[in-house]
Structure formats: C-alpha cells, structure tokens
Amino acid sequence: MVFHDPEGMERLRKATPARIGTGRAGTRPTTREQLQLRLDHAAAVDSVYGSVSSTLLDELELFAVDSEVTDKELYLKRPDLGRQLPESSIRLLRERCIQAPQVQIVVSDGLSADAIESNLRDIYPALLDSLAVQGLTAGTPFFVRKARVGCMNAIGDILEPEVIVMLIGERPGLITSRSMSAYLGYRPRSGMTDSQRMVLSNIHQGGTPPVEAGAHLGSLIARMLELRMSGVSLEL
C-alpha cells in the first residue's frame, strides 16, 4: 500500500491493534488480509475448544475437577451448568482441600484454554508472592474444567473461603485469544451476584502484564479482607 502520509499512517497503526490501513482489492479486502482474518478466527475457535495440558497443571501442582458440563458444545449452550459442580467434584474438593481458607485460588479454562496455557506460569507465582508479602494464607489451589465465573459460588458453599480468586480464560477475540481475567469475591456463597464481584481483566502479554496483575491481586485481596466486602461497594 502506498499512503499519502506514510508517517501519519504508521502513527495511527501504532495507536490501535485494530485492522486499519490494510488496503483493498476493488470493494473487498485483499487476499492477504482475508487470510489473516480467517487465521485469527481459527485461533480463537481453537482456544475455545482446546484444553489445558496436564503438564502445566502438574508443574504448578494443581489437581483438576469437572464442572457439571461434560463437553464444549454443552458448555456453550448451557452457562448455568458451568456454574455447578457434580457430586464427584464436591467429594474430591472436600477430601483434598483445606476447609475455610483465608484465600482460595481457583483456575479454569473458561472460554480460552490458550489464555491459561500462556499466562498461568507468570501470574500464579506472582500471585503467591503477593499473598506472602501481604501475610495472607492460601488454601489448596485447584483447576476446574469448563467452569463459568459463577462457579465460585458453588465452590464457596463447599470450602467457605474468606476470599476467592478465580483465574479464567476470557472469550477470545480476533486480536488475541490469550486474554485472561481474575475474578474476585469476598465470602462467595450461593446468591452472590456480579455486582458483588470484582475483576481484573485483559491479562496477557500485550495487555495487563501477568506478573504485575499477580502482584496487584494481593493488594486487592488485602483491601477486601480489611473492609470485608467486594464488588461495586468497595472503594479502591
């Protein structure tokens, strides 16, 4: 592409990850651009249907349980099932986890296994560091396959933590398929709503840096414990 003001175009491009200044062939996108778009779309689909490797879970010593959902199609169609745990998972949690911890860390693939694969190694140890610096203690961390954010209520009912932090893959987009969010709740129990939770979003290498997100979570959790609340009523 030849631009009237290439310097200015470059500046616009740097200001946004959106697809701008890509040119056209007649009234349609160029073949190159069309292929790039399909490639990015395929990557997004792959990360929804992908799964987190057991290598990663073993490395970070996380055991895995299932949500009420058995396959990805059902997961996409029935968000309510992603918020519930089957009897087998409940039993496993009761057996293996410390009851009523100060902080419960939960990881889930959610809508992007890719997000967990590419960020967990960085955010998780930084989160543990920040809890240690704040003098907070964490319970037994674990991984839930195909969970929704609301699953923290079901987990809260069983383990009764003071604070839960859930690291979960975000819905992938065409810019990145690797974005992760950290959802936080003070005393998560059945009936807790979105407005009572907090989120640190857009965690990936090109967004909120995973290590710094982990470090910030510790201070957020400390503040939640201090004021005994979370969500929109918590002033930061």
Point out the annotated binding site.
149, 170
Q: Are 109 and 54 in contact (CB under 8 A)?
A: no
Give the x-and-dash track for 130-169 against other proteins (CB under 8 A): x-xx---------------x--------------------
Q: Does 79 bind other proteins (CB under 8 A)?
A: no
Q: Does 199 bind other proteins (CB under 8 A)?
A: yes
Q: Does 209 bind other proteins (CB under 8 A)?
A: yes
Q: Which is nearer to other proteins, 190 or 233 (CB)?
A: 233
Q: Does 2 bind other proteins (CB under 8 A)?
A: no
Q: Which stretch binds other proteins (CB under 8 A): 5-13, 31-39, 44-52, 57-65?
A: 5-13
Give the x-and-dash track for 44-73 against other proteins (CB under 8 A): ------------------------------
Q: Are 41 and 174 in contact (CB under 8 A)?
A: yes
As beta bridge partners, residue 168 has 108, 181
Q: How far apart are CA 179 and CA 167, in angstroms?
A: 11
Q: Which of 90, 216, 225, 229 binds other proteins (CB under 8 A)?
A: 216
Phi-psi region of 187 (alpha: psi -120 to 50; beta: other; left: phi over 0): left
Q: How far apart are CA 129 and CA 138, in angstroms?
A: 11
CA distances 14 to 19, 22, 24, 32, 228, Å, are 11, 13, 20, 20, 42
Q: Does 227 bind other proteins (CB under 8 A)?
A: no
Q: Does 229 bind other proteins (CB under 8 A)?
A: no
Q: Which of 3, 194, 227, 228 binds other proteins (CB under 8 A)?
A: 194
Q: Does 205 bind other proteins (CB under 8 A)?
A: yes
Q: Which stretch binds other proteins (CB under 8 A): 7-15, 42-50, 99-107, 157-165?
A: 7-15
Residues 97-136 that bind other proteins (CB under 8 A): 121-126, 129-130, 132-133
